[in-house]
């Protein structure tokens, strides 16, 4: 048998074997269906005791099938990346061919007691391999095109770090994980996905989930860590003044270099009209990224984030002598100022990124945020500005026993060696 035929047979056989060996829900066999949204308009949003054995799980194929008020009641005003408007903006942005699903648990009175966001995304894991192996992978893909390219069914907040599972007060997240797992299996069957991932958990958030997910067959792995500042200053001036002299001078020097190149920062309350410019700038950063790349953004992402999030989103823009040469988006909730995507024109950098991050911090402090979330990656620069680097973990399993065995042999590839900057501040906070 020739190599081409051999790899072709393997590629056809694995998904078929997966379907034969598919894990069967131990609680419910859930069809992916739509409930009648009209019957949910008068949902009671009071806390109550929940008997999960009498609840119903429905997997919606659009968040617009669910009343906004009922969805947002579970998340409050401090989790914007789980909010109805944020998820609708992502759903409407047609990013990377992803499909979005919304498992909702209803009690016997049709009240929502838990919900989550699940989506499918194709991920190229060859990005995580050492450079010396790239050529080998590209050669093998002549015979096996999908090698190391995996369709993932993922439960998490799309295009942002964080867990997407929300529950009504009095109900533990761990208690609904078996139902979320059932929903993921149903979605995986529909999309012919082989890998299930539930993310992201801070160390402090794992206590109510780790044992339950392990019992469901999931194994823990690292995600890239989160860079986040815990705000303990009343003003930006106090923040800068709290650094030790060498670090304060370094920050001011970097900002001075950017400003001397002609850079100034604009804050745009409305930015959707130039969405093509922002998407092109984001693609420049994506193409220059070494290692794991984030999803490619379309102009619709910027249009939807502007229109649907309104005053809870802004665009910071570097204006260089009348030209808008770089940008960074920020979104807000009551607790957190979150930096999302950055982009810039092609050409040599002139300190735009550092200038934008510094502006995010200034705005977060001025708003009185509890946290300023700077996202994943670029840890050296973020830690210089005072960000803590916090470990994030994900849980993953495959519905294919052979693939599940193989992925358990893969080392923890997404745990980078991060150099932290300690003793930045005059006082330990």
15: tokens are 């998904």
Lowest mean pLDDT across 31-40, 75-84, 222-231:
31-40
Other beta carbons less than 10 A from residue 99's beta carbon: 14
Q: What is the pLDDT of residue 13?
A: 35
Residue 392 has pLDDT above 70, yes or no: yes
pLDDT band of residue 5 (cuts 50, 70, 90) is very low
Confidence (pLDDT) at 201: 92
Asked if the peptide bond before residue 333 counts as cis, ω within 30 degrees of 0, the response is no
Q: Which of 133, 142, 125, 122 is nearest to 8 (CA)?
A: 142
- Beta strand 371-375 with 336-344 is parallel
* Rounded Cα–Cα distance for residues 370 and 292 (Å): 29
Give the pLDDT band (50/70/90) at residue 151: confident
Q: What is the pLDDT of residue 65?
A: 96
Tokens of 286: 């994506």
Give the number of residues written for the chain.
Answer: 429
State the Rg of the chain over Cα: 23
Residue 329 CB neighbour total at 10 angstroms: 26
- End-to-end CA distance of the chain: give it in Å, rounded: 66
The answer, yes or no, to whether residue 220 has pLDDT greater than 70, is yes
pLDDT in tens, 75-96: 988 899 999 999 999 999 988 7
Per-residue pLDDT for 28 more than 50?
no
* Nearest alpha carbon to residue 196 among 151, 160, 129: 151
Q: Is 175 helix (H, G, I), strand (E, B) or coil?
A: helix
Report the pLDDT value the prediction gives residue 429, as an integer from 0 to 100. 58
- d(CA 394, CA 233) in angstroms, rounded, equals 32
Confidence of residue 14 (pLDDT cuts 50, 70, 90): very low
Per-residue model confidence (pLDDT) at position 53: 87
Three-state DSSP string of 37-70: HHHHCCCCCCCCCCCHHHCEEEEECCHHHCCHHH
Q: Is the pLDDT of residue 167 over 80?
A: yes
Residues 6+ apart with CB under 8 A from 159: 90, 95, 294, 295, 301, 340, 341
Q: What is the pLDDT of residues 90-116, one digit of tens each?
A: 999 988 778 999 999 999 999 999 999
Residue 343 to residue 298: CA distance in whole angstroms = 13
Which range, 100-114, 207-221, 392-406, is most confident? 100-114
- Which is the CATH superfamily of the domain at 3-217? Gcn5-related N-acetyltransferase (GNAT) (3.40.630.30)
Give the mean model confidence (pLDDT) for residues 116-134: 75
For the chain, which residues make up each domain, given as ranges?
Answer: 3-217, 228-390
Query: What CATH number matches the domain at 228-390, 3.40.630.30, 3.40.50.720, 3.40.50.2020, 3.40.50.261?
Result: 3.40.630.30
Can 3-217 and 228-390 be said to share one CATH topology?
yes
Q: Which of 187, 157, 176 is nearest to 51 (CA)?
A: 176
How confident is the model over 275-286, as a mean pLDDT?
A: 94
Predicted model pTM = 0.83
Q: Distance (Å, rounded) from C-alpha 100 to C-alpha 88? A: 10
Tokens for 40, please give them.
Answer: 């949910």
At 294-325, the pLDDT tens digits run 678 999 999 999 999 999 999 999 999 999 99
Tell me which residue of 317, 48, 29 sits closest to 167, measured CA to CA: 48
Are 223 and 393 within 8 A, CB to CB?
A: yes
């Amino acid at each position: 048998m020739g190599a081409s035929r051999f790899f072709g047979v393997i590629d056809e056989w694995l998904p078929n074997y997966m379907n034969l060996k598919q894990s069967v829900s131990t609680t419910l066999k859930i069809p992916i269906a739509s409930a009648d949204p009209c019957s949910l308009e008068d949902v009671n949003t009071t806390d109550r005791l929940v008997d999960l054995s009498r609840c119903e799980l429905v997997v919606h194929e659009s968040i617009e099938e669910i009343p906004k008020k009922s969805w947002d009641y579970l998340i409050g005003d401090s989790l914007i990346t789980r909010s109805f408007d944020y998820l609708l903006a992502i759903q409407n942005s047609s990013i990377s061919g992803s499909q979005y699903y919304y498992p909702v648990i209803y009690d016997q009175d049709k009240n929502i007691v838990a919900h989550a966001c699940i989506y499918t995304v194709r991920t190229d894991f060859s990005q995580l391999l050492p450079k010396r192996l790239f050529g080998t992978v590209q050669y093998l893909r002549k015979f096996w095109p999908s090698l190391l390219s995996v369709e993932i069914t993922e439960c998490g907040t799309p295009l942002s770090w964080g867990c997407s599972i929300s529950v009504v007060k009095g109900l533990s997240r761990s208690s609904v994980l078996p139902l979320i797992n059932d929903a993921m299996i149903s979605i995986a069957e529909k999309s012919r996905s082989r890998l299930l991932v539930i993310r992201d958990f801070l160390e402090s958030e794992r206590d109510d989930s780790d044992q339950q997910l392990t019992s469901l067959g999931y194994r823990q792995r690292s995600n890239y860590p989160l860079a986040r500042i815990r705000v303990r200053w009343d003003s930006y001036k106090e923040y800068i003044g709290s650094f030790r002299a060498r670090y304060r001078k370094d920050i001011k020097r970097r900002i001075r270099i950017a400003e001397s190149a002609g850079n100034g920062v604009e804050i745009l309350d409305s930015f959707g009209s130039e969405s093509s410019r922002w998407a092109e700038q984001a693609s420049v950063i994506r193409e220059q990224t070494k290692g794991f790349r984030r999803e490619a953004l379309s102009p619709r992402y910027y249009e939807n984030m502007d229109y649907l999030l309104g005053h809870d989103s802004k665009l910071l823009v570097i204006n260089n002598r009348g030209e808008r040469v770089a940008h960074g988006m920020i979104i807000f909730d009551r607790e957190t100022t979150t930096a999302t995507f950055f982009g810039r024109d092609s050409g040599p950098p002139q300190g735009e990124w550092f200038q934008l991050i510094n502006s995010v911090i200034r705005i977060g402090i001025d708003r009185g945020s509890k946290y300023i979330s700077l996202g994943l990656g670029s840890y050296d620069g973020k830690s210089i500005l005072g960000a803590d680097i916090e470990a994030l973990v994900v849980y993953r399993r495959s519905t294919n026993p052979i693939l599940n065995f193989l992925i358990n042999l893969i080392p923890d590839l997404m745990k980078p060696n991060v150099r932290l900057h300690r003793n930045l501040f005059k006082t330990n906070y």
